Amino acid sequence: MTVLATALSDFLHAAVEPQVQVDAIGIGAIYALMAVGIGLVFGVLRLVNFAYGQLVMAGAFALAYASDQDWPVWLGIVLCFVVVITLTLAMERVVFRPLRGKPAATMLVATFAVAFLLQAVALLIDQTDDTLGEPAASLAKLNVPWTILGTDVRKITVVAIVTAAVCLAGLVLILSRTTVGLHMRAAAMDFETARLLGVRADRVIGSAVLLSGILAATVAVMLTVQQPLVTSTFALRETIVVLAGVVLGGMNRLFSATLGGFAIGYASGLLGGALPTAQSQYLPSILFGLVIVILLVRPGGLFTRGPGPVERV
């Protein structure tokens, strides 16, 4: 018992270090953006897009290509956005649209299939030269730290937090102040009724998918700074963790889903920064153990109020 108490107090001491906190918030910010991307599409389509990580991966490959061609950084970022948004819209048109309103399991497995496919294509591209993984080097200079009050804050952490804040604020504006945002919120609440009241399905779904693509491209830019070696499994881990976070937070509202994404990123940042090395290999176990406990206590979502949504079993 005392051993456990000592371990816990060591962990807490390590966890309150400003260094650990700043890094954890940085991870949380990126995960929150991914959570919004997944939550937006879920809101209008009731579809859990498992292939979201592969969109990010495609963006990362675009950045790697740009840095391989010695393009300026801004051009690489433009390419990344073009690739990801094109792919997102194509995915919606080719796969999501024909499956609209089909059983949830079918839609989910279809996104598995797309994820498989994109990953396999990426592996084929990756293998055209004989090295595993392509470096996306152009943005790596953001990885150097600033020292603020004795804490090393990497520039990318600041960039990530600011970008996430700007994106989320922009999104709130779109959702609350524009017609299409209003339509999106209405569709997320009750798609059928919204359609009866004149909300155009294709347009509202298209906008949600477009926004989620923009967010995926943004995430790709920021993740390549931290993991400059782009492989076909790029962002796969992150997607799984974010999906858990989104459900944990409460999938039915964008706000709670986003908070869930942030919370799980923050928690994994804390665990990664503060666990002693001997235990850090069991980080996924601890993280997903927490996920199970929280799901059991709050099955409707950690950040939702009142009783959970009534769901068909």
Partner 1 sequence: MLTIVAPITLVAATAVVGTFFERSTEIYFINALIAVAIVVALYVFVGSTGVLSFGHISFVAVGAWTAGVLSVPVAEKPATMPFLFDFLAETTVGNVWSLVLAALAGGVFALLAGLPLMRLSGLTAGIATFAVLEITNNVLRYYEKVGPGLNVFSSVPETTDLQQAAIGAIAAIVVAFAYQVSRFGRQLRAARDDAPAARAVGISVYRQRLGAFTLSGALAGLAGGLYVHYLPISVDAVYLDLTFITLAMLVIGGMTSLWGAVVGALAVSGLDSLLAEAENGAAGIDLPSGSRIVVVGALMAVVLIVRPSGLTGGRELNLGRLLRGSPGRRGAA
CA distance 261 to 221: 18
* 285 in contact with partner 1 (CB under 8 A): yes
Asked if residue 278 binds partner 1 (CB under 8 A), the reply is no
CB 160 within 8 A of CB 26: yes
Contact 110, 95 (CB under 8 A): yes
Question: SS3 breakdown of the chain: % helix, strand, coil, rounded to 5?
Answer: 75, 5, 25
The site map against partner 1 for 243-262 (x = CB under 8 A) is xx--xx--x-----------
Show the tokens assigned to 231: 């492989």
How many residues bind to partner 1 according to rule CB under 8 A?
48
Coil/strand/helix, residue 151: strand
Q: For residue 31, which of 246, 250, 283 has the smallest C-alpha distance?
A: 246
Q: Is 48 in the site for partner 1 (CB under 8 A)?
A: yes
The interface mask with partner 1, positions 101-140, x = CB under 8 A, is -xxxxx-xxx-xxxxxxxxxx-xx--x-------------
CA–CA dist 192, 197 (Å, integer): 9
289 makes contact with partner 1 (CB under 8 A): yes
Which residue from 98, 150, 198, 307 is in contact with partner 1, where contact means CB under 8 A? Answer: 98
**Is 264 a residue that touches partner 1 (CB under 8 A)?**
no
Spatial CA neighbour of 27 closest among 301, 207, 283: 283
Based on CB atoms, which residue is closest to partner 1, 102 or 200?
102
> What secondary structure does DSSP assign to 46-86, as a single string?
----TTHHHHHHHHHHHHHHHHHTT--HHHHHHHHHHHHHH
User: Other CB atoms closer than 10 Å to residue 288's CB: what's the count?
Assistant: 14
Closer residue to partner 1 in complex, CB, 49/67: 49
23-31, 154-162, 218-226, 285-293 -> range binding partner 1 (CB under 8 A): 285-293
Q: Output the smallest distance, CB 311 to partner 1, in A.
A: 4
Shortest Å, Cβ 51 to partner 1: 10
- Segment contacting partner 1 by CB under 8 A, of 22-30, 78-86, 268-276, 282-290: 282-290
Query: Residue 295 interacts with partner 1 (CB under 8 A)?
Result: yes
Tokens at 168, concatenated: 């989320």
What part of residues 185-244 is at the interface with partner 1 (CB under 8 A)? 236, 240, 243-244
Q: Which is nearer to partner 1, 255 or 288 (CB)?
A: 288
Mapping DSSP to helix (H, G, I), strand (E, B) and coil, where does residue 231 land?
coil
Task: Judge whether 139 and 218 are in contact, CB under 8 Å.
Answer: no
| Residue 233 beta carbon to partner 1: minimum distance, rounded to whole angstroms | 9
Site of tokens 């102040």: 177
Q: How far is the CB of 166 from partner 1 (least distance, A)?
A: 29
Query: Shortest distance, CB of residue 188 to partner 1, whole angstroms?
Result: 15
Nearer to partner 1, 67 or 256 (CB): 256
Pairwise CA distance, residues 263 & 127, whole Å = 36
Residues that bind partner 1 in the complex, under the rule CB under 8 A? 48, 95, 98-99, 102-106, 108-110, 112-121, 123-124, 127, 236, 240, 243-244, 247-248, 251, 281-285, 287-289, 291-292, 295-296, 299, 311-313
